Structure 1
Amino acid sequence: MAKSCCKQTKKITSIGGSALIEGIMMRGPKRTTVCVRTGEKEIYSEDISINTLASKCKLFKLPFFRGIAGLVDSMRLSYKSLMLSADKAIEAGEIEEEEPSKFEKWIDEKFGDKLVKILMVFASILGVALAVGLFFFLPSFLFDLSANFVPVFKGEGETAVFWKSVFEGVLKIVLFLLYIVVCSQMTEMKRVFMYHGAEHKTIFCYESDEELTVENVKKQSRFHPRCGTSFMVLMLIVGIVIGLFIPVAPFGIGFLRPVIKILLLPLTCGIGYELIKICGKHDNALTRIIAAPGLWAQRITTKEPDDKMIEVAIEAIKAVIPEDGSDIVSK
C-alpha cells in the first residue's frame, strides 16, 4: 500500500488540477476538463487543451527540464481555464459584472478588442516586473541596507553569503505568505480557496479507492503534497540553498546577484518539481520534512468546501480518469 505525505492512500494518481471562479479544472493524462457551477443543479463542463512544451521538444521530458515545462504549461492551462470559468460564471449570474462607465464604453467603441489585448500584455509585463522587483531586487537591497547596522551582514565572505541567502529567502517567504493571507480575506478568493479544498479532497478520495460521492469526499484531507502552493514554497526554499553558492557581489557588482538568481530560476523550478514528485510518491521522514512547509501554507490557500463545490470537483475528476489506468503512478 502506497502512502502520500499527509494521508495513507491505496494508489497515487498523476491527475491534478486548480481552483477557478465557481469551478475546477482537472488535468489527466488524456483530457483536461473545466467544470463550472452555473446554477443550483447545473454544472457546465468543457474540455480544453494546449500544445505542451514536451510535445514540441523531447528535452522537456527529461528530469529537471520537465519541471520548467510543467510550470509553463500549468500557467497557460490555468489562465485559459480561469478565463473560461469567469465567462461562464458571469453568464450564469454566479458573479456580478459591473456596469461599464461612459469612458469604458467610449474606449470599447473606439478600440474594441485590440485595446484589451494591448492592456492585457501591458498588465502582464507590469505584473512580472513587480514580482521580479519584490522577490529579487528588494530583498537584496534591504540586506545591503541592513549591513550598515548589522555587523555580521558586512563583507563578502562565506558568512555574509550565508546570511544574505537566508535573509532574502525568509523575506520572500514572508512576502508570499502575506500576499495569500491578504487574498484570503477577499470574498471571491475565499470561494476559490474552498474550491481548492474540494479539488484536493476529491483527488484523495479517488486515490483511496473510495466511491466518488459527496459524503466520501467530505471526510478526506484538504492538504495534498502535490499542490501548487507546496511547489511555490519549495521553490522559495530551494532558492535559499542556491543562493549560498552566489557571491554577495559577483565581480564586485551587487546588482548582479539578483540577476544571476533570476537566470537560475529554471534550475530552481526543476529541482522544486522533482522534490514535489518525490513527495507525491513516497512517505518517509525525509519527504515529510520536505513537504511540511507547503502543507502548512495550504492552511491558507485551501478551505473546507460545501457540498455544491464537491459536486463540481467530482464531475471534473470523473471526466479525466482514463479507463486504461494510465494515470496511476504507483500502488
Structure 2
Amino acid sequence: MKVGGQAVIEGVLMIAKRVSLAVRKTSGEIVVKDLGSVRFPKWARVPFLRGFYSLFISLYFGIKALNLSSEISSGEEMKSSEKFFSLILAIGLAVGLFVVAPIFLTNFLIKKEDEFLYSIVEGFIRLGLFLLYVWIISLFKDVKRVFQYHGAEHMTIHAYEHGEELTVENVRKYSTVHPRCGTNFVMIFLIVAIVLLSVFGALIELSVWTRIISRLILLPFAAGISYEFLKLAAFFEGKGWIKVLYFPGYLLQYLTTAKPDDSQIETAIVALKQAVSEKEDNTDHQVKEEGLELLG
C-alpha cells in the first residue's frame, strides 16, 4: 500500500487507508487525530486528471492539518476569520511571487516580441525565485523543525515500505529523501511548466495581463503532466535514465529535510500506524512519550 504524508507544525500528517495527524504538545504528549479517509472517484483515476485530483486532496488535508497542528502545538484555537485570511494570504503570496513577479522581472530582460524566449527566461526566473524562497525560509528555526519532521516522515515511510517493524531504531537506518516526495513533484512541475509555457508562448502573443491569466490556466495542466512523470519515475524506481527526473528533486530534498530527533520519529510512527489501520477512530487521544509501544 502506498503511503503519503506531509510535515506540519510539530507533527506529521500521513495518508493511507486513513488520514491521520499526530502532533507533539510541549508537555511531551502526542495528540492523534483521525481526519477520515480518501475516496477516488472513477474520473480521478484517469491519467493526467488524477494528478490534479491528488494535488487537490494533498492541499485540502495539508491546509486542514496545518491549522490543527498550529492549534494543538500552541494550545490556542484559531478563529475562522484567521484561518480564512491566512489562506488568502498564502494564495496571494504564491501567485504574486511565482506567477506575477517572474513576468514583470522578465519584462526588464526580454523583448516581448520573442514570446518563446520570453517564456523560457520567465520559467527559469520562477525556478530561481522558488529555490531562493526555500533557502531563505530554511534559515528560520521553526521551519528547520518542520524540515526535521519532513525527514522523519520520509524515514518512517521508507521503513514501512521495507517491511520493518516501526521502531525508532529501525526507522533511523533510512534516508530522509524519498522518490515520491512532493519536492520531487514541484521540481518536475517547474521544469514541465517551462516547456509547456514556452510552446504556448511561441504560438500566441500575449499582453502582461493575458499572460498572467494564461499561466494560471495552464498551471493545472502542467501539474497533471508532472504527476504522470512522477508516477513513471516511481514505477521504474529511479533506475537508469529515469534518475534524471528524480535528480533535481533529490538535491532539493537535502535542503527541505533534516535529520530528526527520536521524539520526531516517534511522532511520525504514531501517525503512520493510525493511517494504515483499518479501524476508524474519530476520537482524539493522547499518547505519552514513554507509552509509544502500547500503540502497536
The normalised TM-score by structure 1 is 0.76
Match of 1:232 in 2: 186
Equivalent residues, number: 277
The normalised TM-score by structure 2 is 0.85
| % identical aligned pairs | 39
| 8 A Cα contact 1:250 1:256, kept in partner | no
SS at match of 2:200: coil
Q: Deviations over 1:226-261 (max 9, x none)?
A: 111111111111101102212269345354233212
Query: 2:269, 2:91 → 1: CA distance?
Result: 34
Query: 1:16, 1:51 → 2: CA distance?
Result: 12
SS at match of 2:13: strand
1:186 and 1:319, CA in 2 relative to 1: closer, same or farther beyond 3 A? same
Equivalent positions of 1:108-119 (< 5 A) are 116-118=79-81
Shift of 1:39: 5.5
Shift of 1:277: 1.8
2:197 aligned with 1:210, yes or no? Answer: no
Match of 1:70 in 2: 54
Equivalent positions of 1:143-162 (< 5 A) are 143-147=106-110, 155-156=113-114, 161=116
2:234 aligned with 1:296, yes or no? Answer: no
Shift of 1:176: 1.0
Structure 2: which amino acid aligns with 1:260?
S
Structure 2: which amino acid aligns with 1:314?
I
SS at match of 2:108: helix
Q: Which of the residues 79, 88, 95 maps onto 2:72?
A: 88
| 8 A Cα contact 2:18 2:38, kept in partner | no
Q: Which runs of 5+ in 1 are unaligned?
A: 1-12, 92-96, 98-112, 148-152, 324-331
The structure that has the greater radius of gyration is 1
Query: 1:70, 1:38 → 2: CA distance?
Result: 30
1:215 and 1:246, CA in 2 relative to 1: closer, same or farther beyond 3 A? same
| 8 A Cα contact 1:250 1:257, kept in partner | no
SS at match of 2:25: strand
Equivalent positions of 1:173-322 (< 5 A) are 173-247=127-201, 250-251=204-205, 253-282=207-236, 283-322=238-277
Say what the alpha-carbon RMSD is for the aligned residues.
2.4
2:74 aligned with 1:132, yes or no? Answer: no
Structure 1: which amino acid aligns with 2:25?
T
Match of 2:63 in 1: 79
Q: Deviations over 1:70-99 (max 9, x none)?
A: 1111111011112222222123xxxxx7xx
Match of 1:169 in 2: 123
Query: 2:36, 2:128 → 1: CA distance?
Result: 35
1:51 and 1:146, CA in 2 relative to 1: closer, same or farther beyond 3 A? same
SS at match of 2:68: helix
Structure 2: which amino acid aligns with 1:246?
F
Structure 2: which amino acid aligns with 1:32?
V
| 8 A Cα contact 2:6 2:150, kept in partner | yes
Shift of 1:201: 0.5
